């Protein structure tokens, strides 16, 4: 445990940021999994709505710096391709 006041504050702020970052990352992964389930089930309407949600969550993670922009682009491309081959 740090002794300096600023170092103590940094530990507290890092803990808060960690919770937020984990929430954003988990919601992104969940949205991607939900989209993949709807594609596997063959539900076109649910796939379209869950694709939009997944893309929003991916962009949020990218803008937060949690996901590299190339990974975000790759994920969005892969998901969009999966939806388009469904039709």
Determine contact, residues 67/28, Cβ cutoff 8 Å: yes
Structural domain including 63 reads: 5-86
Q: Is the pLDDT of residue 59 over 80?
A: yes
Query: What is the per-residue pLDDT for 86?
Result: 83
Cα–Cα distances in Å, from 68 out to 13, 36, 51, 61, 85? 23, 21, 19, 9, 26
| Backbone phi, psi, residue 42, to 5° | 85, 15
Confidence of residue 52 (pLDDT cuts 50, 70, 90): very high
Residue with the two structure tokens 């388009």: 84
Whether pLDDT at 87 is above 70: no
Number of domains in the chain: 1
CATH of the domain at 33: 1.20.58.110
- Answer whether residue 1 shows pLDDT above 90: no
């Amino acid at each position: 445990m740090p002794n300096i006041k600023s170092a103590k504050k940094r530990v507290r702020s890092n803990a808060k940021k960690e919770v937020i970052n984990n929430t954003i990352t988990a919601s992104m992964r969940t949205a991607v999994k939900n989209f993949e389930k709807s594609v596997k089930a063959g539900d076109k309407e649910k796939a379209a709505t869950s694709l939009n949600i997944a893309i929003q969550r991916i962009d949020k993670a990218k803008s937060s710096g949690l996901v590299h922009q190339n990974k975000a682009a790759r994920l969005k491309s892969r998901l969009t391709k999966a939806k388009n081959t469904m039709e």
